[in-house]
Amino acid sequence: MRLVALLVLCAGCAVAFAGCGSDAGAAPVPVAAGAASASGANVLHGVYSRLNGARDDIGHYRGRVVLVVNTATECGFTPQFDGLEKLYRKYKGKGLVLLGFPANDFAGQEPRSNKDIATFCKNNYGVSFPMFAKTHVVGAHKNPLYTRLTAAAGAPEWNFNKYLLDRRGRVVARYTQNTEPLDPGLVGRIKKLL
Protein backbone atom coordinates (compact mmCIF):
# COMPACT_ATOMS: atom_id res chain seq x y z
CA MET A 1 0.00 0.00 0.00
CA ARG A 2 1.32 3.43 -0.95
CA LEU A 3 0.87 6.29 1.49
CA VAL A 4 0.52 10.01 0.77
CA ALA A 5 1.76 12.52 3.31
CA LEU A 6 0.40 16.02 3.68
CA LEU A 7 2.63 18.36 5.58
CA VAL A 8 0.82 21.31 7.09
CA LEU A 9 2.29 24.28 8.91
CA CYS A 10 0.05 25.99 11.43
CA ALA A 11 0.47 29.76 11.86
CA GLY A 12 -2.28 32.11 13.11
CA CYS A 13 -4.54 33.49 10.39
CA ALA A 14 -7.33 35.68 11.84
CA VAL A 15 -5.71 38.81 10.44
CA ALA A 16 -6.59 40.34 7.07
CA PHE A 17 -5.62 38.73 3.79
CA ALA A 18 -2.93 41.31 3.05
CA GLY A 19 -0.05 39.65 1.25
CA CYS A 20 -2.07 36.54 0.48
CA GLY A 21 -1.17 36.42 -3.19
CA SER A 22 -3.45 36.07 -6.18
CA ASP A 23 -3.33 32.38 -7.03
CA ALA A 24 -6.59 31.25 -8.60
CA GLY A 25 -7.68 27.70 -7.89
CA ALA A 26 -5.37 24.73 -7.90
CA ALA A 27 -2.83 25.85 -10.46
CA PRO A 28 0.45 24.64 -8.99
CA VAL A 29 3.52 26.82 -8.81
CA PRO A 30 6.12 25.26 -11.15
CA VAL A 31 8.92 23.30 -9.53
CA ALA A 32 12.28 24.89 -10.30
CA ALA A 33 14.10 23.07 -13.08
CA GLY A 34 17.38 21.72 -11.82
CA ALA A 35 16.32 22.15 -8.19
CA ALA A 36 17.61 19.53 -5.79
CA SER A 37 14.20 17.91 -5.49
CA ALA A 38 13.42 18.05 -9.20
CA SER A 39 16.67 16.21 -9.89
CA GLY A 40 15.56 13.34 -7.69
CA ALA A 41 16.63 14.37 -4.19
CA ASN A 42 14.50 13.21 -1.27
CA VAL A 43 13.63 16.21 0.96
CA LEU A 44 12.18 14.03 3.73
CA HIS A 45 14.96 13.75 6.26
CA GLY A 46 15.61 15.19 9.67
CA VAL A 47 14.10 14.92 13.13
CA TYR A 48 11.48 17.47 14.17
CA SER A 49 9.50 17.92 17.38
CA ARG A 50 5.75 17.45 17.35
CA LEU A 51 3.39 19.83 19.17
CA ASN A 52 3.43 17.43 22.13
CA GLY A 53 7.24 17.42 22.29
CA ALA A 54 7.71 13.92 20.84
CA ARG A 55 10.53 13.65 18.28
CA ASP A 56 9.63 12.44 14.78
CA ASP A 57 12.07 11.44 12.04
CA ILE A 58 10.23 12.59 8.91
CA GLY A 59 12.29 10.15 6.85
CA HIS A 60 9.79 7.44 7.75
CA TYR A 61 7.18 9.24 5.61
CA ARG A 62 9.17 8.41 2.50
CA GLY A 63 7.22 5.86 0.50
CA ARG A 64 4.06 7.93 0.86
CA VAL A 65 2.75 10.87 -1.08
CA VAL A 66 3.28 13.88 1.16
CA LEU A 67 1.53 17.24 1.25
CA VAL A 68 3.44 19.74 3.38
CA VAL A 69 1.47 22.79 4.59
CA ASN A 70 2.52 25.74 6.73
CA THR A 71 -0.38 26.74 8.99
CA ALA A 72 -1.57 29.45 11.35
CA THR A 73 -4.45 29.59 13.81
CA GLU A 74 -5.31 33.29 13.45
CA CYS A 75 -5.35 33.63 9.66
CA GLY A 76 -8.13 34.19 7.17
CA PHE A 77 -7.13 30.79 5.74
CA THR A 78 -7.34 28.96 9.11
CA PRO A 79 -10.66 27.31 8.11
CA GLN A 80 -8.59 25.26 5.63
CA PHE A 81 -7.87 22.99 8.60
CA ASP A 82 -11.36 21.59 8.04
CA GLY A 83 -10.60 20.64 4.44
CA LEU A 84 -7.16 19.33 5.34
CA GLU A 85 -8.65 17.03 7.98
CA LYS A 86 -11.34 15.81 5.55
CA LEU A 87 -8.67 15.15 2.91
CA TYR A 88 -6.55 13.26 5.43
CA ARG A 89 -9.41 11.11 6.70
CA LYS A 90 -10.59 10.26 3.20
CA TYR A 91 -7.21 9.18 1.82
CA LYS A 92 -5.06 8.15 4.79
CA GLY A 93 -6.09 4.51 4.32
CA LYS A 94 -4.76 4.73 0.77
CA GLY A 95 -1.50 6.29 1.88
CA LEU A 96 -2.14 9.97 2.58
CA VAL A 97 -0.49 11.59 5.55
CA LEU A 98 -0.68 15.26 6.45
CA LEU A 99 2.18 16.94 8.25
CA GLY A 100 1.47 20.34 9.76
CA PHE A 101 4.12 22.91 10.67
CA PRO A 102 2.83 26.00 12.53
CA ALA A 103 4.76 29.21 11.89
CA ASN A 104 4.45 32.81 13.07
CA ASP A 105 6.25 34.21 10.02
CA PHE A 106 3.35 36.05 8.38
CA ALA A 107 1.82 39.04 10.19
CA GLY A 108 2.18 37.39 13.61
CA GLN A 109 -0.74 35.08 12.87
CA GLU A 110 0.50 32.22 15.06
CA PRO A 111 0.96 33.71 18.53
CA ARG A 112 -0.05 30.53 20.38
CA SER A 113 2.23 28.11 22.23
CA ASN A 114 2.62 24.55 20.93
CA LYS A 115 0.19 23.30 23.57
CA ASP A 116 -2.38 25.96 22.68
CA ILE A 117 -2.00 25.26 18.94
CA ALA A 118 -2.69 21.56 19.56
CA THR A 119 -5.77 22.37 21.64
CA PHE A 120 -7.09 24.88 19.08
CA CYS A 121 -6.61 22.51 16.13
CA LYS A 122 -8.20 19.54 17.92
CA ASN A 123 -11.14 21.45 19.46
CA ASN A 124 -12.04 23.55 16.42
CA TYR A 125 -11.22 21.25 13.50
CA GLY A 126 -10.70 17.75 14.94
CA VAL A 127 -7.16 17.69 13.55
CA SER A 128 -5.75 14.17 13.80
CA PHE A 129 -2.89 14.39 11.30
CA PRO A 130 0.68 14.94 12.59
CA MET A 131 1.33 18.52 13.65
CA PHE A 132 4.85 19.66 14.39
CA ALA A 133 6.20 22.26 16.80
CA LYS A 134 6.05 25.92 15.86
CA THR A 135 8.90 26.76 13.51
CA HIS A 136 10.09 29.19 10.85
CA VAL A 137 9.30 28.56 7.18
CA VAL A 138 10.88 31.68 5.65
CA GLY A 139 13.86 33.87 6.43
CA ALA A 140 17.31 33.18 7.80
CA HIS A 141 16.01 30.88 10.55
CA LYS A 142 13.71 28.65 8.47
CA ASN A 143 13.96 24.98 9.34
CA PRO A 144 16.01 22.65 7.11
CA LEU A 145 12.94 21.02 5.55
CA TYR A 146 11.67 24.41 4.41
CA THR A 147 15.12 25.28 3.10
CA ARG A 148 14.88 22.23 0.83
CA LEU A 149 11.24 22.89 -0.12
CA THR A 150 12.06 26.50 -0.98
CA ALA A 151 15.01 25.43 -3.17
CA ALA A 152 12.76 23.02 -5.06
CA ALA A 153 9.56 25.05 -5.50
CA GLY A 154 9.92 28.52 -4.00
CA ALA A 155 9.20 29.97 -0.57
CA PRO A 156 5.70 30.02 0.89
CA GLU A 157 4.04 33.35 0.21
CA TRP A 158 1.69 33.17 3.19
CA ASN A 159 0.17 30.66 5.59
CA PHE A 160 -1.30 27.46 4.12
CA ASN A 161 1.02 26.99 1.14
CA LYS A 162 1.01 23.30 0.18
CA TYR A 163 4.00 21.32 -1.10
CA LEU A 164 3.13 18.03 -2.77
CA LEU A 165 5.79 15.31 -2.61
CA ASP A 166 5.86 11.99 -4.41
CA ARG A 167 6.54 8.62 -2.78
CA ARG A 168 10.28 9.15 -3.18
CA GLY A 169 10.17 12.37 -1.16
CA ARG A 170 10.62 14.62 -4.21
CA VAL A 171 8.69 17.87 -4.57
CA VAL A 172 6.15 17.61 -7.39
CA ALA A 173 4.34 20.95 -6.97
CA ARG A 174 3.57 23.83 -4.64
CA TYR A 175 0.07 25.24 -4.31
CA THR A 176 -0.48 28.66 -2.78
CA GLN A 177 -2.79 29.49 0.10
CA ASN A 178 -5.62 30.22 -2.35
CA THR A 179 -5.90 26.55 -3.29
CA GLU A 180 -8.42 24.90 -0.98
CA PRO A 181 -7.43 21.44 0.32
CA LEU A 182 -10.40 19.80 -1.45
CA ASP A 183 -9.84 21.62 -4.74
CA PRO A 184 -10.40 19.05 -7.54
CA GLY A 185 -7.06 19.85 -9.20
CA LEU A 186 -5.10 19.22 -6.00
CA VAL A 187 -7.12 16.15 -5.05
CA GLY A 188 -6.74 14.77 -8.57
CA ARG A 189 -2.97 15.18 -8.44
CA ILE A 190 -2.83 13.43 -5.05
CA LYS A 191 -4.97 10.55 -6.34
CA LYS A 192 -2.65 10.06 -9.31
CA LEU A 193 0.33 9.83 -6.95
CA LEU A 194 -1.46 7.36 -4.70
Catalytic residues: 75
| Cα 139 to the center of its chain, rounded Å | 17
Q: What is the DSSP string of 123-142?
A: HHH---S-BBPPB--SSTT-
Three-state DSSP at 25 gives coil
| H-helix or E-strand spanning residue 55 | strand 55-57
- Please, are residues 193 and 64 in contact by the beta-carbon 8 Å criterion? no
